[in-house]
Amino acid sequence: MTTEKLRQLLVVEDDPALQKQIRWSFDQYNVLLASDRESALSQVRRHTPAVITMDLGLPPDADGVTEGFKLLEQILTAAPDTKVIVLTGQNEQTNALRAIALGAYDFFVKPFEPETLNLTIERAFRFYDLQQENRRLQSMQQPDALGALITRDPDQLCRARQTR
């Protein structure tokens, strides 16, 4: 299978060993890598991936969560339909709740099971595809031809309502 046919998955992770593990675990995708907020935003603008996994602890605040939350907000502002799966070693329920409240698709605590994460990534791609298909179908709908009809004749108004 060529990389042109593979779905693009952006992985935002500052740990090179974990980047390598994720790339190896998810070889059914064209894995794009970013190690900080700026390179991640550049990848989002260049490739507009449907699904992103990201760490909250990114440089220059690798031990905190400020960079990760800034990135999450910026991604969802730039590409609101993107499904962002947060992966973090910051095992706090408040961070999970905040990430979901900001629009993250899901939240995983490191270390994670690759099989479980893979199922979530597949579900995120399917959900993204369904949203795109729904949007396409809605744009094809014909407007109601009688919806803008203005009449003073009660008989015509009754007939127009009955034909809807």
pLDDT in tens, 113-164: 889 999 999 999 999 999 999 988 888 876 655 555 566 666 655 555 555 5
Listed ranges 35-44, 85-94, 103-112; the one with the highest mean pLDDT: 35-44
57 within some domain: yes
Whether 61 maps to a domain, the answer reads yes
In a domain, 3, yes or no: no
Q: Say if 93 falls within a structural domain.
A: yes
64 in a domain, yes or no?
Answer: yes
pTM assigned to the model: 0.80
In a domain, 1, yes or no: no
Residues with Cβ within 8 Å of 44's Cβ and at least 6 positions away in sequence, in order, are: 10, 52, 75, 78, 79, 82
Measured between alpha carbons, how far is 35 from 58 in angstroms, rounded to an integer?
Answer: 7
- Residue 134's domain comprises 8-162
Count the domains in the chain: 1
Cross-strand bridge partners of residue 107: 86
CATH number of the CATH domain containing 87: 3.40.50.2300
Is-contact 45 67, C-beta < 8 A? Answer: no
| Domain membership flag for residue 104 | yes
- Please write the tens of the pLDDT for every residue from 11-34: 999 999 999 988 999 999 999 999
| Residue 94, both tokens | 């408040």
2 in a domain, yes or no? no
